[in-house]
Amino acid sequence: MSAAPESEIAALKSYGHNLGMAFQIADDILDFTADERELGKPVGSDLRQGTFTLPVFYFIDQDARGAKIVDFLSEDMDALVDAIRHSSAIDASKAEARQFTQNARDALSIFPDNAYRRALIDLATYVVDRTL
């Protein structure tokens, strides 16, 4: 059991949650924006396996072509991956990832400004900026 105050435990829990969300969204974006060599797997592999991630949901919601996603899925997966890659869904997903990153950094505000806090802030920034 930790001797840390509940407020610090809650802050670190919030940091971890927000960092994890930012990381996952950044990974989901990479699935569309990186090339196969960088990914080590086919671009759009999550979608090809039937997994809808945040960029796909934004594409369905924000892009006129999103209403025809069923047609894309059954006809031309490469065209769908390319459509999502070049749609506003990527920018919307980036904005959400950045907001989670900001929430993670904000959660650390109760801690003193020292090397440990700065390292956690740098980690949160890196998680998103490595891909965005």
Tens-place pLDDT, residues 97-119 = 999 999 999 999 999 999 999 99
CA 23 to chain centre: 5
pLDDT at residue 124, as a whole number: 94
**Is pLDDT above 80 for 1?**
no
Tell me, yes or no, whether 71 lies in a domain.
no
Domain that holds residue 124: 6-52+91-129
For residue 113, which amino acid is it?
Answer: D
Say whether pTM exceeds 0.85.
Answer: yes
Tell me, yes or no, whether 69 lies in a domain.
no
Give the whole-angstrom CA distance, residue 28 versus residue 22. Answer: 10
Tell me, yes or no, whether 77 lies in a domain.
no
Query: What domain count does the chain have?
Result: 1
pLDDT at residue 110, as a whole number: 97
Tell me, yes or no, whether 39 lies in a domain.
yes
Tell me, yes or no, whether 80 lies in a domain.
no
Tell me, yes or no, whether 68 lies in a domain.
no
Tell me, yes or no, whether 125 lies in a domain.
yes
Tell me the three state secondary structure of residue 41.
coil
Give the whole-angstrom CA distance, residue 33 versus residue 38. Answer: 10
**Residue of 3, 86, 1 lying closest to 43 (CA atoms):** 86
Tell me, yes or no, whether 123 lies in a domain.
yes
Mean pLDDT, to the nearest integer, of 128-132? Answer: 73
What the block records as the tokens of 108 is: 């650390």
Give Cβ neighbours of residue 73 (< 8 Å, ≥ 6 apart): 80
What the block records as the tokens of 119 is: 């390292």
